Each structure stands twice: as C-alpha cells, then as structure tokens.
Structure 1
Amino acid sequence: MTGADDAAKTEIVDCGSPTGTFKLASTRKLEEAGCPEGAYREIRTQSDLLCLMPNFVAGTCYVPDEPNAGFKAGDCGSQEAIRVSEVIEGTTDPSGCPDGSGLGYPDPPVVFCIETPEAE
C-alpha cells in the first residue's frame, strides 16, 4: 500500500511477502456501516469498503510505516520496534499473551501478542 487515506493505492502481493504489510480482513458495501471495531485500515474503492488488518507474522519485528498508517518489517534494535511474539487465531482476548499484551481483531478473530524489544 502506498499513499494516505482514500487516495491510497493497493497492490496485491502474497501474504508471505515481506512487503505485504496488510491483509484483507473483510469487504463491505459502501452503504454499510464501517469496519468492525478495532484498528482496521479502511480503504474505499468505487463500490466497496476494504477493511485491512496488519499482516503480522510471529517472531518478526515491525517498525512504524508512517506514510501508510501501519507497520513494516524492520530492525528489532530500533527504538520504535515492536515484536509479534505469537499469533492466536479464533479469539479476540489478549489474556493468552505474555503480560496480556496483545492487539485483538474481531473479524476474523485474531490476537497479535506484542512485545517491545528495546524495553526488555
């Protein structure tokens, strides 16, 4: 994804690609309500609302990707880095994460367990 807000341009890549920073969580018609509650990135096309969520992979560190309002794979030594220690599918409850530190999404239900490597 490049660009900001509704002017953002998307390019479809394999979810295993290091450049695949978001994945499609759900698609809704423009006349429907917005994305489910959570930190989804909303992109509007001519006919649909795309609800995107991070494409986080367990064991990977991410740094802010300001132009795209998200994260990209990066150096764990960066002061701003987060590390995804575990991905728990089928739930939105972060209590299964170390210290309960997780980011939950309801659609599809998944929790990303988050650590800050520089804080350890």
Structure 2
Amino acid sequence: MKFTGTRAIARLVIALVAMAVAALAVTGCSMIEDASKSDTAKAKVGDCINVIEGSTVDSKTEPVDCANEKAVYQVVSVYDTKTDCKEEQTSYEETLNGGTTAFLCLTPNFKEGACYNESSSTGYKFVDCTAPEASFKVAKRIDGQADEFLCDATTAIGFRVVPEPKTTFCLSSPKS
C-alpha cells in the first residue's frame, strides 16, 4: 500500500536531519576549539583580567569583574592571530601546538588607592601596598581624559596615560 506524498515527507525528514547534522558539526568544531582555550583566552572586549603570576612564557591569569581591585587589565581587542597592540597596551598570547589560539590586547585598569608591581618582563600585578614588591600606588584615576598634566607634580612620582579608553593614572609611592 502506498500513501500519496510519502516520498516528499521522507525527503523533508532527511533534509531536516542533514541540516541538523551540519549545524551540529559547525558548532561542535567551534566548541572544541574554544574548549582548548583558557578562561582568559575566551575573554571578550571589555572583560577584565587578574594576573596571578606573571611570566614571559606561562603567566597565570583569570578573568575577574572589572570593579575588583585585582582587575589589573581590561581587554580592548581580541584576535585569532598575533597582532601588534597599540602603545601603552600589553599583549596576551595563548598558543597550542605551536599555533596562536588567542591574542588579546590589554590596557591597564588600575584602581585608585591600590598598589601594583611593575616588571618589564611580566607586566603589572596587583599587590598589597605593604608588600616589598609594590612598585607604585595609584593616587588618582581620571577616566575620560588622557593627560599627564592632570597629575599633581608635587605629589606624583609618575603617571600612566592610556589613550583607549582615555584614562590618566597619577602614581605615588606605595608607602604614601
């Protein structure tokens, strides 16, 4: 016994199953690719990063809320391949089997009143102001302006000016 239109229904079912398999294959591949990335490498523009342990080869980092005083860096751009970051930005590269899986450009996200350690080889790290490795304290943070002359020259020991997003950090001794 034959029913009219069964071939059309069978073709429709086969087409729907094929589309579902194709969609699963595409999302499955990106899920596998993302599974090989650390939480830091999965960060999006605007997310913030804490540096637990700085290293030129294998830093230990974690994403944190940007309001957290340990949110040392903010992600300003994300790439799949190695890219030159702008001046005053720090690069974060994650590799797997010799290939870059994530490349982030980071900008300082210092908190007013907090202290940090600065290393030319490993970047910035949040530290307690009483710690011997404390390099500087953020005496003042000015959002929306990138101008070193906003810092009081009589009390500041230095400054960091970030062009994107425009921010000025006036620095003092960690002991002050």
Q: Does TM-score exceed 0.5, indicating one fold?
A: yes
**2: distance between equivalents of 1:65 and 1:19?**
16
Report matched runs for 1:54-93 at 5 Å: 54-64=108-118, 68-76=122-130, 78=132, 80-93=134-147
Identity, in percent, stands at: 25
Deviation at 1:26, TM superposition (A): 2.6
Residue 36 of structure 1 corresponds to: 86
Answer with 107-116 or 92-101: which moved more: 92-101
Unmatched tracts of structure 2, length 5 or more: 1-50, 95-99
Gaps of 5+ in 1: none
Counterpart residue number, 1:5:
56
Deviation, structure 1 residue 53: 2.3
Give 2:85's aligned amino acid: C
The structure, 1 or 2, with the larger RCO (C-alpha pairs under 8 Å, 6+ apart) is 1
Give the equivalent residue in structure 2 for 1:107: 164
Cα distance in 2 for residues equivalent to 1:44 and 1:93: 29
CA distance in 2, matches of 1:3, 1:83: 19
Q: CA RMSD in A?
A: 3.0
Q: Secondary structure at the match of 2:162?
A: strand
- Tell me how far 1:17 sits from its aligned partner: 2.7
Distance, in Å, in 2 between the alignment partners of 1:80 and 1:7 is 22
Q: CA deviation at 1:111?
A: 1.0
State the AA in 1 paired with 2:168: V
Larger Rg: 2
Quote how far apart the aligned CAs of 1:86 are. Answer: 1.3
1:24 matched to 2:75? The reply is yes
User: C-alpha deviations, 1:40-99, integer Å up to 9, x for none?
Assistant: 221124354211223211122333478843131312574744111111122221100111
Alignment length (residue pairs): 117
Give 1 or 2: higher helix fraction: 2
**CA deviation after TM superposition for structure 1 residue 29, in Å:** 5.1
